């Protein structure tokens, strides 16, 4: 399943509810995003941790825009970092 949008900028990944949000995160981090293109540089994160392009997302999940990402309780499920206080 696709869980969020991803924009790749060099070796950095920006995740968000949609590709525009990802680009805004890149811009807010101080990067020059003038050459970023949400269609060309937009990818998706799967629930098993893979980053897939739009073509692969269409083949596997019938999704190629962030507006089509499945939602839970009205919001896409974004990955979160593990809580360091939680014991394994």
What tokens appear for 9 in the block?
């900028």
Q: What is the pLDDT of residues 43-84, one digit of tens each?
A: 999 989 999 999 999 999 998 888 888 764 345 555 555 545
pLDDT for residue 36 = 85
> Which run of H or E residues covers position 11?
none
pLDDT for residue 39 = 87
What pTM does this model have? 0.75
pLDDT for residue 73 = 37
Average pLDDT, the chain: 82
What lies within 8 Å, CB to CB, of 7 at 6+ separation is 13, 14, 16, 19, 22, 23, 25, 26, 36, 38, 41, 42, 43
| For residues 21-27, average pLDDT | 92
C-alpha 71/C-alpha 59 separation (Å) is 20
């Amino acid at each position: 399943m696709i869980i969020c949008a991803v924009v790749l900028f060099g070796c950095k990944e920006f995740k968000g509810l949609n590709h525009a949000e990802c680009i805004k995160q890149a811009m807010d981090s101080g990067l020059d995003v003038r050459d970023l293109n949400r269609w060309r540089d937009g990818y998706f994160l799967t629930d098993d941790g893979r980053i897939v392009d739009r073509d692969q997302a269409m083949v596997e999940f019938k999704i190629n825009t962030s507006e089509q990402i499945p939602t839970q309780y009205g919001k896409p499920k974004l990955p979160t970092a593990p809580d360091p206080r939680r014991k394994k």
